[in-house]
Structure 1
């Protein structure tokens, strides 16, 4: 009877989701992103790394005593066209007349006390600014590398060698470090919010008492609501992985990823249920849940084996044996929080909510 009651409550919860327009809209948005990921990723990467947009030339006016060094650094950056001016005033004047000169930015380099000091001027607050800043960043990075190499003989102590430059595709990095974790973990947060909202609303409206009139216990009611919400996240994640594959984005270790999502879903939904049972009203419960999830996942970001990093490594196929240990650890933590939830439900039930 107990398991049937939990399933009945879970079915009731899933059926009621169709009436929640916000949840339906969130699901449709995720579905759209997963279904058309191959098209969206191009536009999203332009925001993630505008320098890789291609087809956009940045004209930079260069002046000052370090003109030669800046020109050499700019010539190594694709999409940057340098223009030398006799002094800073002339370069600034050209920047202020972009329609006539075509200058998008200014770099003024001066050598003082054996060091190169560079001041940069870019357009103020428009879409072009982002692209220009990224391109100038690459120019200054090249300048720094060149100066380290050229002046190494005059240094009293050799600096640490810079890591070699890589030519990895930003589309590859964005897909596996941003897009895939987003599609995997967003359903987890939504499921936790559903759990909080469902239990808190039942308490606030007094309908939880009506449910207890039926031949079910409070634990079965909470378990049913938890089952519906926690099962929704891995089900969505599985669909998103399939749709990513259809769009040409290969996701390795899908079973391990789904196990990670399921473990986090149980953990987050159990935390949400605890908050809903302890909080006096629905609004405060949602606020406490949001803050709690923010702190929990923000704290895990400090560790190398955080959920996002683990998911990216699994999706790429570069995970080692430690990834399985991390997934198992999250599963144990989720199980521990669920056990604590059941104890809390027993105490609440004993006190006759």
Structure 2
């Protein structure tokens, strides 16, 4: 008799076609990857509303620092700043709908205090607030530069302004990690459901009659779930490239996905064996994944940062070591599950 684990893995992959939730999730990811060049425009408008362009905000400016604030606001695209004699006049214009926002700038004890008023719960509120933020940042930079000439000691130079594209940043820091790691979470959930379903229906006993050991059954299910994520990620990377979003270092990225998929699926298998009740197992798995991935964000070389830099093509010198460490963690998690399976009595499941 040959190795039964590939047969079990093939059976698991075939049964996924009956899971409507899983199929829907896969189709959604496929749609995002296949049409990323179109979807990214709409998604970036949510990620960075200031990038929508061609939208001009009319702002009423009042106070004794009006001229300085208008000069700074005029250098920011998308703002039409108008001076008003008083705060009351500016607010009346705002209430009539003549302007979209109000900025009141008053000088007091050598400082400038600015009060901003924007519409509440309006569809244009987010874009208006973003434009006001950019204007106030420019005003702050101008004030710092002008006042530095009167200081007795030299100060640090202001950092140069960056003109990076929000589409570029969103694609590589949000979209690419989302497509890479969402399949990882789904694979872990599949593992939990697969094992708990076998236990709940009593089919685990039938599999062992084959004859198969519990280790063979768990290995086959892990093989199916853990290979699904890197296979999906490879397809997503290919589709992103076809849509004009080249992804660098694909082999390193797929190695990370495979390692994290093994880690997460091993966690799911351990939870399912220790807590065979399906709802409880899914809850514990979700908490465990949140804890694991939430903990990694505390480190500079977390999966999202590392994958984004690899995808862009500017990896950190430690990136190979980081990828290798995730591979080691994935292998260690699998060995830990194998040890756990060896101590589980199948008759008690």
C-alpha displacement of 1:154: 4.6
CA distance in 1, matches of 2:262, 2:83: 61
1:328 aligns to what? 324
Query: In the superposition, relative to structure 1, how do residues 350 and 32 fare at CA in structure 2: closer, same or farther (>3 Å)?
Result: closer
CA distance in 2, matches of 1:108, 1:220: 71
CA distance in 2, matches of 1:140, 1:275: 51
Match status 1:104 vs 2:100: yes
Contact 1:2 1:216 in 2 (8 A): no
Query: In the superposition, relative to structure 1, how do residues 281 and 160 fare at CA in structure 2: closer, same or farther (>3 Å)?
Result: farther
CA distance in 1, matches of 2:70, 2:94: 17
1:92 aligns to what? 91
- Tell me whether 201-210 or 163-172 shows the greater mean CA deviation: 201-210
Match status 1:277 vs 2:276: no
State which of 157, 160, 178 in structure 2 corresponds to 1:164: 160
C-alpha displacement of 1:319: 0.8
| Structure 1: gaps spanning 5 or more residues | none
Taking the TM superposition and a 5 Å limit, the aligned residue runs for 1:187-202 are: 187-202=183-198
C-alpha displacement of 1:291: 1.1
1:299 aligns to what? 295
Q: Secondary structure at the match of 2:82?
A: strand
1:29 aligns to what? 28
Match status 1:57 vs 2:81: no
Contact 2:214 2:346 in 1 (8 A): no
C-alpha displacement of 1:310: 0.7
- Tell me whether 267-276 or 312-321 shows the greater mean CA deviation: 312-321
| Structure 2: gaps spanning 5 or more residues | none
Q: Encode CA deviations 1:265-298: one digit per residue, 9 max, x unaligned.
A: 0011111111111114111111111111111111
C-alpha displacement of 1:119: 0.8
Contact 1:2 1:220 in 2 (8 A): no
State which of 199, 202, 206 in structure 2 corresponds to 1:206: 202
CA distance in 1, matches of 2:155, 2:210: 74
C-alpha displacement of 1:126: 2.6
Q: Encode CA deviations 1:240-259: one digit per residue, 9 max, x unaligned.
A: 01100111111111111111
1:81 aligns to what? 80
Query: In the superposition, relative to structure 1, how do residues 291 and 236 fare at CA in structure 2: closer, same or farther (>3 Å)?
Result: same
Query: In the superposition, relative to structure 1, how do residues 157 and 21 fare at CA in structure 2: closer, same or farther (>3 Å)?
Result: farther
4+ residue runs over 3 A deviation: 153-162, 349-353
CA distance in 2, matches of 1:63, 1:34: 48
CA distance in 2, matches of 1:324, 1:144: 41
CA distance in 2, matches of 1:7, 1:291: 30
Q: Secondary structure at the match of 1:110?
A: strand
CA distance in 1, matches of 2:2, 2:320: 33
Query: In the superposition, relative to structure 1, how do residues 70 and 202 fare at CA in structure 2: closer, same or farther (>3 Å)?
Result: same
CA distance in 1, matches of 2:149, 2:313: 43
CA distance in 2, matches of 1:158, 1:303: 35
- Superposition TM-score, scaled by structure 2 size: 0.96
Query: In the superposition, relative to structure 1, how do residues 288 and 156 fare at CA in structure 2: closer, same or farther (>3 Å)?
Result: farther
CA distance in 2, matches of 1:236, 1:333: 21
Q: Secondary structure at the match of 1:126?
A: coil
Q: Secondary structure at the match of 1:348?
A: coil
Match status 1:177 vs 2:168: no
CA distance in 2, matches of 1:143, 1:346: 67
> How many matched pairs?
349
